Structure 1
Amino acid sequence: MQRGVSYQKLLDGLQQRTWNLPFYRQQNTIASGGRHSFAITGHRFTQNETINFDDAEKACQSKTTLELLRSSLILNACSVETFVKHNYKILSWTRRLMGRSVFNAMMRPTVYKQFVGGDDFTSFQETVSRLQTVGVRPLVMVTLEEDVKDDGPDADQLFDRNLKIMKDCMEMTAALGSQNPMMQIKPSGLFPLALCKSVSAEIPFPSSEPEVVEKIANSMETSKEVTKLGNLSTIEIAQLNKALNRIKQICKVAMERKLMILVDAEYTYLNPCLNLLALAMMLHCNGSEPLVTNTYQNYLKETPNILLKDIELAQTHGVTFGAKLVRGAYIYKERALASEKGYPDPVCETFEKTTKNYNRSMDIMMEKVAKHPGKFCVTIASHNEDTVKRGTNKMAKLGIPRSSDQTVIFAQSYGMSDFISLSLGQAGYMTYKSIPYGTIDEALPYLSRRLNENSSILGGVRRERKIIHAALGRRLFSFN
């Protein structure tokens, strides 16, 4: 697999070339300190302008008519439950039937173009530049989807390859020229899954064992190997030290490039280990700015309580704290696993209770941001319009500036909820799109997984299609 090569090619292109879009006018956001002074078709958006998600023309004006038509057709397909449930089988069968070349030729201008930023410098930088014209910044996504066998003879080589991919992508992200660059990382791609399970079982609540967090952070800081952690075996301790060395290299690039990294959360039986690593990375990296952000899944009942404990740990150690708030992507699998293993279901019973959890976590973080400027950062990663509106209203109530860098961030997936992202960006809020980079073959497994895991967000597809249809109607009407 030549994935690392494609990342390096993109990085080389970014360092050697300057991309220019003659059909868009981009303001110099870096020179103005990233204060969201953007212009499209002559309109300047100010901090005092009221955000309006119903303004279809404004929300869609950065897209061509063909792009809007494509979005309408694809989002219509995404609203079909059968397709969502069986999309990977359908796409795989179609590829076998058509052949790879014909299939790729069909996918590139449609599904791939809708959800992926590109697979080379030109295409990816064009995507980023177009988003920046409407005040939306890139949150680059590494799509590491393949499973790695824990006991395979080549496991370390694969983990090291994943490390190289992440580091190359971090360098590329820093070179994009965006103010406050950000990237998502998946630490579980750097060490065996069995080790992640073992550490999670040994340290189920990391912030309740601060001495363990300190031990892991000290290992990252000094390269001093961990000799004992609970009941981990000698082999597992050796694997852990290799993992910490790889994560230390990620931290080094982040600190050198001033690059914010968002640590992904996964299943409940893996999350304690990932939480432990994220907290240790905060102690190691988060001095005066929140370079490391942990992900909190609010469909889990205990998430706000865990968030409070993690905040307490960070404050005790005098470091900045970052939280990315999501509803969650593994609801059906988590419930099935709880039923199979016979333990209490960790997932909120209803969507409304999940929303209540999310709102509580948002309030906790917003109030910390307002009370301790520069010490906290929250990313509202949501496709839910009501959640986003609540976030903007909470900011206004607490007096948090829209353009205050690295305090309150809004984020959505590339190709979805564009009317929310573009409206937020044009109104001056710190707004990011999570943008996958890679070839069609690399991206399809990722896109399929995300579509299945995030099927709950597709309830907003009808609303987005309505916005798109209104914009298309105005354009077509203006031609007559």
Structure 2
Amino acid sequence: MLWTRLPLYGLSKPSTGGWKPLLFDGGAFHLKGTAELARAWLVLRLCAWPPLVTHGLAVQAWSQRLLGSRLSGALLRASFYGQFVAGETAEEVRGCVEQLKALGLLPLLAVPTEEEPDSTAKTSEAWYEGNLNTMLRCVDWSRALVDTSGAARNSLMQLKVTALTSIQLCKELSAWIQRPASSSELSPERLAEAMESGKNLQLSYLSAEQNHHLQASLSRLHRVAQHARAQHVRLLVDAEYTFINPALSLFVAALAARWNRPEEGGPWVWNTYQAYLKGTHTRLERDAEAAHRAGLAFGVKLVRGAYLDKERALTQLHGKEDCVQPDYEATSRSYSRCLELMLRRVSQHGPLCHLMVASHNEESVRQATKRMWELGIPLDGPVCFGQLLGMCDHVSLALGQAGYVVYKSIPYGCLEEVIPYLIRRAQENRSVLQGVRREQALLGRELWRRLLGRKA
């Protein structure tokens, strides 16, 4: 059983009254139409079937050859695309967002553009510049789609760094950062200065071409952050694979040094922390304290993590120590510790510390909401929740109806671009997809109730 309370902030002890029970039992499904629930039940059942996830790209190609592009596309739009994607045009995305808002939920737009680690496709500055324009447009859409008049109604969007800079460069930088005597050439302050001034960096261990690409990448990141700040949109930078995460964190730290100053009204740039990695709690504690000492606001999106299988395969391939938690239970304990750390910091530092509890796990959400009550953190304060569009609606809807701030991560774009992106995400989130049986059961129960004409 989950509880909410009246929004009282700054309490040292929990209130003795105002508690109301909140159950994740699918009771909020009455807010959705029957056709929508039926599609969700069918799609989630298919996503929980491992062969379909494993061979998703091959199934898509086979479907196009057998049925033709038009019919195959129509089936995808009526099923997977319709379930997990906001749409392609501004009008379609707006329609999806209006539906979410009617349910008490907010959008977290995600551009499905990235460079894959095992991709053989050639990328160029022109490709990254095109992605920059897409990111700037996403900032505009994020601002236009959310009414920010309320204290908690922040416009947020996801930012994938590997859409703006190459994975190879990130690998080179990460390797240098992880050396015992890491070079001072890679300080966040130096990168922040290069971002703002536009003066070329010349790192001694990079080639002339790599230095040029680094400067262009820094310029792109700066332009997105600058535009996001002007439009009052907060950037949630996605974490990726461990072999490039040090470079991504360096970029975030450089952006934070410029845009997370208290006088800017930050944090405008948030980093993502993956609880399935063994060192996450230590790193989170270190980064939070460093931001505090520097007088910076601190924003965190806390996730369990999505790359477990690939991370294990990579560490075995290179003979390195396994960096991921041994099992799901250990990951949950890690998530719980990180969550407790951040909630305490939010209660101590208020608006200078923001947190998104990005989780589909009911126990994690229960912990977060109960600790918010105990620590005196208001429902409309600097803590919000996040789940994927089309999944975990029994949790999202219950939270939204109770007054918590809930965002749904919504990719958008054309069918040809988004479906491969969704398949990759499904392959990386197998544990999440295997865990949707409870949601399927709740959906089935609600559909059966409607079929029999019973009252809720």
The alignment's TM-score, normalised by the length of structure 2, stands at 0.89
CA offsets 1:445-465 (integer angstroms, 9 cap, x no match)? 111011110011123311101
Q: Report if aligned partners of 2:146, 2:154 keep a CA contact under 8 Å in 1.
A: no
Matched, 1:386 2:355: no
Give the Å deviation of 1:286: 1.0
Gap change, CA 1:148 and 1:396, over 3 Å in 2:
closer
CA offsets 1:234-284 (integer angstroms, 9 cap, x no match)? 322221111111111011111101101111111111100000001111111
- The match for 1:279 is 253
Give the Å deviation of 1:145: 4.1
Q: Report if aligned partners of 1:290, 1:375 keep a CA contact under 8 Å in 2.
A: yes
RMSD: 2.2
CA offsets 1:196-228 (integer angstroms, 9 cap, x no match)? 11011111389x988701111222233333233
Match of 2:441 among 461, 466, 472: 466
Gap change, CA 1:250 and 1:149, over 3 Å in 2:
farther
Match of 1:212 among 187, 193, 218: 187
Give the Å deviation of 1:129: 0.8
Matched, 1:425 2:389: no
Length, aligned pairs only: 429
- The match for 1:477 is 452
- The match for 1:395 is 372
Question: Equivalents in 2 of 1:187, 1:162: separation in Å?
Answer: 10
Question: Equivalents in 2 of 1:275, 1:348: separation in Å?
Answer: 20
- The match for 1:296 is 273
Gap change, CA 1:316 and 1:479, over 3 Å in 2:
closer
Question: Equivalents in 2 of 1:154, 1:336: separation in Å?
Answer: 26
- The match for 1:170 is 139
Give the Å deviation of 1:49: 3.9
Question: Equivalents in 1 of 2:224, 2:138: separation in Å?
Answer: 11
Superposed, which structure 2 residues align to 1:252-331 within 5 Å? 252-288=226-262, 289-331=266-308
Q: Higher RCO, 1 or 2 (CA under 8 Å, sep at least 6)?
A: 2
Q: Residue type matched to 1:144 in 2?
A: T
Match of 1:78 among 25, 39, 47: 47
Q: Report if aligned partners of 2:105, 2:407 keep a CA contact under 8 Å in 1.
A: yes
- The match for 1:7 is none
Give the Å deviation of 1:89: 1.4
- The match for 1:40 is none
- The match for 2:415 is 440
Gap change, CA 1:145 and 1:232, over 3 Å in 2:
closer
- The match for 1:194 is 168
- The match for 2:150 is none
Question: Equivalents in 1 of 2:275, 2:118: separation in Å?
Answer: 30
Question: Equivalents in 2 of 1:349, 1:146: separation in Å?
Answer: 28
Q: Which runs of 5+ in 1 are unaligned?
A: 1-34, 36-46
Question: Equivalents in 2 of 1:110, 1:294: separation in Å?
Answer: 32
Give the Å deviation of 1:232: 2.4
Give the Å deviation of 1:395: 0.9
Matched, 1:50 2:21: yes
Give the Å deviation of 1:190: 1.2
Match of 2:113 among 136, 144, 148: 144
Q: Report if aligned partners of 2:86, 2:93 keep a CA contact under 8 Å in 1.
A: yes
Q: Report if aligned partners of 2:271, 2:301 keep a CA contact under 8 Å in 1.
A: yes
Q: Residue type matched to 2:388 in 1?
A: S
Q: Residue type matched to 2:212 in 1?
A: A
Q: Report if aligned partners of 1:279, 1:310 keep a CA contact under 8 Å in 2.
A: no
Q: Which runs of 5+ in 2 are unaligned?
A: 1-6, 8-17, 148-152
Question: Equivalents in 1 of 2:425, 2:50: separation in Å?
Answer: 14
Give the Å deviation of 1:399: 1.1
Match of 1:161 among 115, 124, 130: 130
- Between the aligned residues of both structures, percent identity stands at 39
Q: Report if aligned partners of 1:180, 1:259 keep a CA contact under 8 Å in 2.
A: yes
Question: Equivalents in 2 of 1:456, 1:336: separation in Å?
Answer: 16
Question: Equivalents in 1 of 2:54, 2:327: separation in Å?
Answer: 21
Question: Equivalents in 2 of 1:48, 1:287: separation in Å?
Answer: 36
Question: Equivalents in 2 of 1:336, 1:152: separation in Å?
Answer: 22
Match of 1:100 among 69, 80, 93: 69
Q: Residue type matched to 1:237 in 2?
A: N
- The match for 1:15 is none
Give the Å deviation of 1:287: 2.1
Name the SS for the 2:55 alignment partner: helix
Q: Residue type matched to 1:202 in 2?
A: W
Question: Equivalents in 2 of 1:215, 1:124: separation in Å?
Answer: 38
CA offsets 1:142-164 (integer angstroms, 9 cap, x no match)? 00045599999970111100111
Name the SS for the 2:351 alignment partner: coil
Name the SS for the 1:172 alignment partner: helix
Gap change, CA 1:205 and 1:322, over 3 Å in 2:
farther
Q: Report if aligned partners of 1:197, 1:269 keep a CA contact under 8 Å in 2.
A: yes
Match of 2:389 among 414, 417, 436: 414
The alignment's TM-score, normalised by the length of structure 1, stands at 0.85
Q: Report if aligned partners of 1:150, 1:193 keep a CA contact under 8 Å in 2.
A: no
- The match for 1:375 is 352
Question: Equivalents in 1 of 2:120, 2:201: separation in Å?
Answer: 21
Question: Equivalents in 2 of 1:381, 1:153: separation in Å?
Answer: 33
Gap change, CA 1:471 and 1:277, over 3 Å in 2:
same
Q: Report if aligned partners of 2:115, 2:162 keep a CA contact under 8 Å in 1.
A: no
Question: Equivalents in 2 of 1:273, 1:312: separation in Å?
Answer: 20
